[in-house]
Amino acid sequence: MLPEFSPHVSDLAPGRGALRPARSWLHSDAKSLSLNGSWRFRLSPTASASEDFAAEGFEDHGWDSIPVPAHWVLEGDGAYGHPIYTNIQFPFPIDPPYVPDENPTGDYRRTFDVPADWSDAERVVLRFDGVESLFRVWVNGVEIGGASGSRLAHEFDVTAAVRPGENVVAVRVHQWSAASYVEDQDQWWLPGIFRDVTLVARPAGGIEDVWLRTGFDDGRGRVEAEIAADATAFPVTLRIPELGVEQVWATPTDVTPVDIAAVEPWSAERPRLYDATVSTAAETVTLRVGFRTVEIRGDQFLVNGRRVVFHGVNRHETHPERGRVFDEAHAREDLALMKRFNVNAIRTSHYPPHPRLLDLADELGFWVILECDLETHGFDKVGWTGNPSDDPAWREAYLDRIERTVERDKNHPSIVIWSLGNEAGTGSNLAAMSAWVHARDAERPVHYEGDYTGEYTDVYSRMYASVLETEQIGTDGSRAPLLNCTPAQGARQRTRPFLLCEYAHAMGNGPGAFDQYEALVHEHPRLHGGFVWEWRDHGILATAPDGTPYYAYGGDFGEVIHDGNFVMDGMVLSDGSPTPSLYEFKAVVAPVDFAFDGDKLAITNLRHTADTSDLRFRWRVEHDGVPVDSGELEVPQVGAGDSGWVSLPSVAVSPDAETWLTIDAELARDTAWASEGHVVATAQLNRSVRRPVPGVRPRTGWRPGDGTLTLGIAEFVGGSLVRLGERAVAGPRLELFRAPTDNDKGAWGEVEESDASVSGVSNAELWLRDGLDRLTSRRVSVEQTEDALRTVDKVSAADSGLSVLVESVWSRESDGEVELRVEIQPSHGWKTVWPRIGVRFELPDGTAPVDGAEWFGLGPLESYPDSLRAARTGRFAAGIRDLSVEYARPQETGHRTAVRRLALTTGDTEVLRVEALPDTQGRRPGFTLSRHTPQEIARSGHPFELPDSTSSCLTVDAAQHGLGSRACGPDVWPAFALRPAARTIRLRITAPN
Ligand code: IPT
């Protein structure tokens, strides 16, 4: 009997001895005992250490202790090895189903007492909610079984092995197994018992499983119950007190549907739940039911008869200290943060999360795509040869995975789509999984992105499709080819609802173009939105050699192969702070849209179900960012999908300042995820009168000079600025370089949409090739007059014939004010896009270093040409550190667009005041204030590698290149790509004392 219970690491069978069918993760009053806590632990370097540790009397006093749940590589300060990060690559040879002999193996032991009052239990079950990757279990020396399927639950019947009083449980966990070939998700490899272990008493006459399938139709609700219980357990009673439901089913064949005349539907916006119980004499199970009906009608995905638009995120389980160990408070805060940023959907990439997460999703309100634990991406390397997805030998393992996935979570109203997995190629085992779901749950569609031609799935799904391609998918009658489809297959796919299961790769600074994707959703009803890749960075809290804490990524643990910082691609940093991209997302997907028309405002409610009764609308008027008036708009309630018109308040327009009207939609009441007053959507209307821009006064009397002179507050030596007021200042110096973003470093995809890029070569590489990071200059001329200085510099890089001529004209305008006009003129022959066209000033350390900025322009956060929707016009202030975002890998950050006035500050004192004049096309420069130069930032792999600095560096950019998504997706859209061009920057500078 024993050999049958000894799954070998290369065994394809998903489990031996694990109970089937899998069942729901239920809240029951049956007795249970958590086996979480401190276990004895021993780590061996191979899978072949002696099994005598499993014996009852084994002496484990010399062993260490480890907490359960935990990943052993995150415990013991490195004593148990380290995490490994790979994206697609297998961190072991591609030799399926074998894994190397070097296979870290953790042995766990603990004792537990079976409580005396469990004597009435008919069965005792031992449940593991998650163990990575393959484990075996013994109770009191008797081998019980084993299983793989890291993010899936497994239960074992241990009735015969347990006894009253003290018992011993032993578990052996192998880091690598055959299962590792089908768990090749883009994340850290984190072995161990990382979810709960529970001993459950199953009462005689209890409820093995229950499924309350609900429906909603025109105000009416329906519950169809499926009860798994012995016939002797009956009668079974369903109670939903709030709805007056008390339904007694006398026998299994009696279990008929319950119709309820009036219920409120469940939706992600109004997650209405009703408490329910299902009980027998022996056991009561508590559920929270939500009434909703999921349906595909033609090419529309509907819930309760209305089209759903996913403003979703891909969510991994990740915590900077605990890895994939679930922390409910952390998860709840994560989900509340999503709600505050207008996220309405979650794809559980790429495995089922801890089961409690779905309770939270039901309660807070999200449309969920629940994904099975399956990915075989590394087979791509070998042309998908031997891919388990198409090999009958793996069929049972695949079916076991999907069964465990669906059964565990089937009761949740938030789950509206099942997903078979991610990036597992294609093949008949996936088709078999889909057939299993269809047979088991006909009410929820099946998703799998890799089914490009739609052979076995119900929705058309793609990842990282470009804006153009997405548009073509949504366009009726379009014959544009679809990925991997013949024209006929493409036509079939166009008959289905479409979603982007991944788009907008949020790695580092970026992505751009959220708004372009969102616009398509409103134009083409077949397009149902998508899921940003991804919600959160997976950084692991570590300590630099100098003691500085930092968030580690691939390579930081000395991995043999790894994928660097590709695991840091969230809209939320590892420490939980939202990046500017999340604000951009929030603005773009806001549930309320404002359109100004003369003195009227149209308010459109873009939501699925909810009207606007939870919102109030506030307005304010600002003159050059200074509030002058405010109030509340009387807005009639607007139903989902409807628009309402209101009159705008009368706005006092200033003759000599910019006048802006701002409208905020904010929560009128506290919710579970935000307080009253939380702003949901914002719009601005520019009511400024046109004011002429002072022209450039022609000057005569230029004569060659030595360039050593003083013009008001500006002091020059040899034609170069040395001082402004009391401050040492160097510059302006042409700056064309930015520390490449992860998207700048990406070489993804075809580039026909952005003709300045080169296929397969990143823009960052082209910039380095052209020497944009190492420009040198030669002074061509210095001329001066009584109150002006003019220099011409030729700027170019070593071994390059390309150059830029920079003419700088300084002039004294009035007492204490100087104007600087810089003309930037590229030579013929530049081919690539440029990161920026700017000038840089350096303010070296003084007694009181510049440590902040106040400005009137766009803010408060950084913005770029294709990520401007979260930015609004106003007055803002920030400390110099807060002007930069601490991306896991330092890169371009901090650009504030369209600045009108800027003051550099020390403490709260203004040091320099800069007014930026628009050019003849009305374009205004942006600014960046940082402790570091782009070159310093580009050289650093982590924030702690940036040199200490108290000097500051002000860059004023006539323009910046967009962000795009090319780390994994399309490049910057042509309209936002910065091509070499002649530009003018005009600044007026004063130095208050
Ligand atoms: C895609 C993966 O599905 C996802 O897990 C993640 O790795 C993402 O890329 C990038 O971060 S697959 C990619 C080849 C499109």
CA 120 to each of CA 30, 34, 115, 159, 207: distance values in angstroms, whole numbers, following the listed order: 11, 19, 11, 12, 15
Please indicate, yes or no, if residue 328 is contained in any of the structural domains: no
Cα–Cα distance, 902 to 923 (Å, whole number): 16
Please indicate, yes or no, if residue 364 is contained in any of the structural domains: no
pLDDT of residue 440: 98
Please indicate, yes or no, if residue 360 is contained in any of the structural domains: no
pTM of the full structure: 0.97
| Rounded distance from Cα 417 to ligand 1 centre (Å) | 20
Residue 823, domain CATH:
2.70.98.10
| Rounded distance from Cα 34 to ligand 1 centre (Å) | 36
Phi, psi of 799 (to 5 degrees): 60, 30
pLDDT of residue 759: 80
Q: Sign of the C-alpha dihedral, residues 472, 478, 481, 483?
A: positive
Residue 389, domain CATH:
3.20.20.80
Q: Output the residue whose Cα is nearest ligand 1's atom 4.
A: 186
Please indicate, yes or no, if residue 551 is contained in any of the structural domains: no
Please indicate, yes or no, if residue 701 is contained in any of the structural domains: no
Are both 801 and 817 inside the same structural domain?
Answer: yes
Residue of 184, 186, 373 best suited for mutating to test ligand 1, as the one with most atoms within 8 Å of CB: 186
DSSP for 60-119 reads -TTSEEEEES--GGGSGGGTT---EEESSS-SS-S-TT---SEEEEEEEEEEEEEPGGGT
Residue of 369, 422, 423, 449 best suited for mutating to test ligand 1, as the one with most atoms within 8 Å of CB: 423
CA 863 to each of CA 104, 482, 930, 987: distance values in angstroms, whole numbers, following the listed order: 46, 33, 15, 21
Are both 719 and 679 inside the same structural domain?
Answer: no
pLDDT of residue 750: 62
| Strands 15-16 and 926-930, bridge-based pairing | unpaired
| Rounded distance from Cα 186 to ligand 1 centre (Å) | 7
| Rounded distance from Cα 376 to ligand 1 centre (Å) | 12
Please indicate, yes or no, if residue 297 is contained in any of the structural domains: no
Are both 143 and 255 inside the same structural domain?
Answer: no
Are both 820 and 969 inside the same structural domain?
Answer: yes
Are both 409 and 521 inside the same structural domain?
Answer: yes
Q: Is 563 helix (H, G, I), strand (E, B) or coil?
A: coil
Q: Which atom of ligand 1 is nearest to the CA of 422?
A: 3
pLDDT of residue 993: 67
- Strands of 918-982, DSSP E: 926-930, 952-960
User: Domain range spanning residue 239?
Assistant: 209-281
Q: Output the residue whose Cα is nearest ligand 1's atom 5.
A: 186
CA 374 to each of CA 70, 112, 460, 535, 697: distance values in angstroms, whole numbers, following the listed order: 22, 34, 19, 20, 69
- Where does ligand 1 bind, in terms of residues with CB under 6 Å? 87, 186, 350, 422-423, 463-464, 502, 505, 533, 566, 569, 968
Are both 576 and 636 inside the same structural domain?
Answer: no
pLDDT of residue 275: 98
Write down the H helix ranges in 158-245.
none
- Please say which residue of 142, 168, 203 terminates a domain: 203
| Rounded distance from Cα 505 to ligand 1 centre (Å) | 9
Are both 652 and 722 inside the same structural domain?
Answer: no
Name the helix (H) or strand (E) containing 938: helix 934-938
Please indicate, yes or no, if residue 93 is contained in any of the structural domains: yes
Q: Output the residue whose Cα is nearest ligand 1's atom 9.
A: 968
Q: Output the residue whose Cα is nearest ligand 1's atom 13.
A: 968
Q: Which atom of ligand 1 is nearest to the CA of 377?
A: 12
Are both 38 and 167 inside the same structural domain?
Answer: yes
Please indicate, yes or no, if residue 426 is contained in any of the structural domains: yes
Whether 69 contacts 326, CB under 8 Å: yes
Q: Which atom of ligand 1 is nearest to the CA of 501?
A: 3
Whether 803 contacts 827, CB under 8 Å: yes
| Rounded distance from Cα 465 to ligand 1 centre (Å) | 12
Residue of 184, 316, 318, 463 best suited for mutating to test ligand 1, as the one with most atoms within 8 Å of CB: 463
Residue 41, domain CATH:
2.60.120.260
pLDDT of residue 2: 40
Are both 880 and 843 inside the same structural domain?
Answer: yes
Among 478, 325, 510, 624, smallest CA distance to 885 is for 510
Are both 160 and 49 inside the same structural domain?
Answer: yes
- Please say which residue of 628, 653, 686 terminates a domain: 686
Torsion-angle region of 576 (φ positive above 0: left; ψ -120 to 50: alpha; else: beta): left
Residues forming beta bridges with residue 228, ordered by sequence position:
209
Per-10-residue mean pLDDT, the chain, length 993: 62 90 97 98 96 96 97 96 98 96 97 93 97 97 96 98 96 97 98 98 97 97 98 98 98 96 98 98 98 98 98 98 98 98 98 98 98 98 97 97 98 98 98 98 98 98 96 91 94 96 98 98 98 98 96 97 98 98 98 97 98 98 98 97 96 97 98 98 97 89 96 96 94 97 90 62 95 98 97 98 98 90 97 96 87 98 98 98 98 98 94 96 97 97 95 97 96 94 98 82
Are both 738 and 881 inside the same structural domain?
Answer: yes
Catalytic residues: 423, 502
pLDDT of residue 478: 84
Report the domain count for the chain.
5
Whether 469 contacts 480, CB under 8 Å: yes
Name the helix (H) or strand (E) containing 428: helix 428-440
Q: Which atom of ligand 1 is nearest to the CA of 185?
A: 5
The three state secondary structure string of 397-427 is HHHHHHHHHHHHHCCCCCEEEEECCCCCCCC
| Rounded distance from Cα 267 to ligand 1 centre (Å) | 29
Are both 960 and 853 inside the same structural domain?
Answer: yes
- Please say which residue of 203, 221, 246 terminates a domain: 203
Residue 238, domain CATH:
2.60.40.10
pLDDT of residue 631: 98
Q: Output the residue whose Cα is nearest ligand 1's atom 12.
A: 423
